[in-house]
Each structure stands twice: as structure tokens, then as C-alpha cells.
Structure 1
Amino acid sequence: MAFTRLRTLRRRERTVVRSGRGKAAVAVATLAVAAAALSACSSYSDQVHASGEFVDMVRPAIAVTDDGGKPLGKDAIGVQPGKPIVVKATEGALTGVNIPKANGTPVKGELSDDGSTWTSSEPLGYDKRYTLQAEAIGVGGKTTTSQSFTTQAPSNLTQAYILPGKGETVGIAQTAGVRFDEAIPNRKAAQDAIKITNTPKVDGAFYWISDREVRWRPEHFFKPGTKV
């Protein structure tokens, strides 16, 4: 409606130039139309700012997934405890994420530089129920979410021993290893559950020396002072 009125105003302005008659009356009419048009624009703008639909469009949304991007539904069961939980906000930034453990302490996680994504950095427990709470804020206001999930209950748990031991000083060619207390039928699953980090970063690969022990060898010798 406002656009139509603005076009009418232009036609009347051209009439004033052509006729040269009744200029004062036409000018008054033109001002009246202009005032009506401006009033319509102001009214329309107020309606947009007050619209609940507009606010909903820019209200932050929070999504919870695994590290592969698969949505983590409410009351999900069988969640892999060794895989990170990812919380992502769109149209806003996360202001808080909390996954309390049984003792009340929160699961550790890292927030991205832009504040939009939080990723858990410690493994969850087996056969445990967690309740995740997250909050995000943006132009459209604040959004909160809460959802529970239960981790996988394995049919069997094996004990693992890390080699070399914690805090040991070793040579630059030393391999890292894990020894299990029983034979491992699914070697790939065992390797996927092991995470090797080092500073400065060095790539490497796994190899098995028996059905109970896997080793990780660096592609190149470690630099002196490397932490693994």
C-alpha cells in the first residue's frame, strides 16, 4: 500500500508542472498525500519490529550432534561415549553449555573462537545418563535447551595399559602403545578408541604386535622435548 501511494504522489507532482493552475491547492493536496504515505511507511515499519514472526527468524537456534554431524535426539540411547558431543548455535553465540557428571562436575569442552560451537573434550562414561543444558543469545533474544541421553552399555569392558607410563622420559624413536588384558577381536574399533596427541605435532600410524597389544609409531623421529 505504501508503494502505491508513493507512485500517486509522483503523478500529482507532474500535474502541477504541466497545468500551472491551482498551484496552492494542488500543493496542499500533494503534501497531504506525502504525509499519508510517510504515515503508512512509519506504521508498516512499526508492525515489522513488533512482529513475532520476525523475532523468531533471528532468534538463536541450538543443535546438538555427534562429531559427525548426526543429530542427537532427545532421550537418545546408545550414544558412543568415546565420541565428542557438539553443540552449535546459529543466529547467535553460545553463552553456556553444561553436561554434569554423576559427581556434579561438568564434562570438559572447548568453545570455538566465534562462540558458535562447543565440543566436548573428554570421554563420557559407559551406560550413563546425562542431561545437557545449553544457552545462546543473539539479535532475536535468548534461547535455551535441555535434553537427556544415555551412553552405550557394552557387553564387555577390557582393561587397557598405556606404554610407556605417565611422566616417563624416552628416546626420540620411542613408540606409544596400549596393552589389553584380553585378545581384541575388533582391532579397528580398538584403534578408533585410541587418541594420540603430541606437541609439536607428528603424524604416525598404528600396528599390532599381538592380539593384545597395539603400537603407534611416528612417521619421523620426535623432536627433543616433544610431549606425547
Structure 2
Amino acid sequence: MRVFKKLTSYIMQDDLLQPRLSISESMSIAADLKLGKELGKAEKELIVEEILQTLGLWEHRNTRSECLSGGQSKRLSIALELVNNPPIMFLDEPTTGLDVVSIRQLVVLLRLLSRQGRTIICTVHQPSASLFSLFDRVYIVSRGMCCYQGAAPLLIPFLAEIGHICPSTHNPADFVLETLATDPEASAQMSELCQNGKLCRKLDRMTLRGGR
């Protein structure tokens, strides 16, 4: 458990920030607490600057937390957890309370962090179709069972295997939730088909390259 705690970080749904502290002050305190005396002041400042530049907060580094927008507050919450560079990050409903533009910016940012070698795991209820397409892997839970695990584009053909055809104009995320809510047998059928999450539907990379 000690090793697990060092490898992971957890970002809650509500941003618990110190309202009177600026972004730089909050990051400086986090660096001192998480990095200790292992690194000098100059090294810590470089780490903080790199994180703020990556998350688009550098220009707002002197702004107090209470003056930040919802999207900026969420990015600061992520920045504070990135100080000690955790390889695994859990986010609870990171898009709650954000407008459409901020939500997309946040999800694109999370994709960027994942491309840097981190594993990003977050719970999201009813994402839009455009956001759904940005997820590398989707894990759907209903009635205590895993009903799907795999690539987002493969969810529609997966549903078709049990007779649920998603209309081309429908959001796949909305369609699967509606299916699970209205069809009592759908959860069991989907769980059985993916062996309760043991089978992961993966995209064929060769097929993807050939289709471009």
C-alpha cells in the first residue's frame, strides 16, 4: 500500500484550493512538501515552471486561486499533483461544473499527460460524442458488473453483437447508458460477452494505419 500511494495521486471532484494563495505560491508549497530537501530551490522552481507551462497556467501564476475560472482551478488541482510526477492519476468527475470548451480543453490535456507515459483514470458520466472519441479505453460498469472494456470506437460493434444497433446520429455514450437502463438483460449479456471485463476490445493498429 505504501508503494501504491507513492505511485498514484487522486484528484477529487471538488477543487480544494487555498483561495488567498496565488498559483505560484500554492505550487511552491506543494513542491516543498512533496519533494522535501532532495532538490534545491532552483530545481523545484524549474519543475513548477515546466508543469505550469504544460498546463497553460504560467501566464496566470500570480493570480490567486479565488480568481480562477472553473477550468483553471481544475488544472491547478492537477498541477499540484504533478509536482512529484506520479505515474498513475485518478480523477473523480473532473468535468463537473465546466463549460463545453473547458471540458474539451481538460480532456485534451489529460490525453497529453497520458502521452507522456502516465496512466490517467477518470470517471465521467455521459460524455459528449466528441469527448467519447478521445478516450483510449472505456470501462463501463452497470449493476456491479463490467459491461465493456476496450477502445471507444469498438463499443458500437460490441453492442451490435447482442442486437442493439446504435443509430449513426446517436452519441454512443448516451446509447449504451439508455440500453443498460431500459433493457434489464443488457447488463448480463454485455458482461458475459466481455467475461466481466477480462476481455479487452483493442483496435488493430495495422488496420488503423492502413485506413488513413
With the shorter chain as reference, the TM-score category is: under 0.3
Identify the structure with the greater strand proportion: 1
Answer with 1 or 2: which has the greater Rg: 1
Greater relative contact order (CA < 8 Å, ≥ 6 in sequence): 2
With the length of structure 1 as denominator, give the TM-score of the two structures: 0.23
Identify the structure with the greater helix proportion: 2
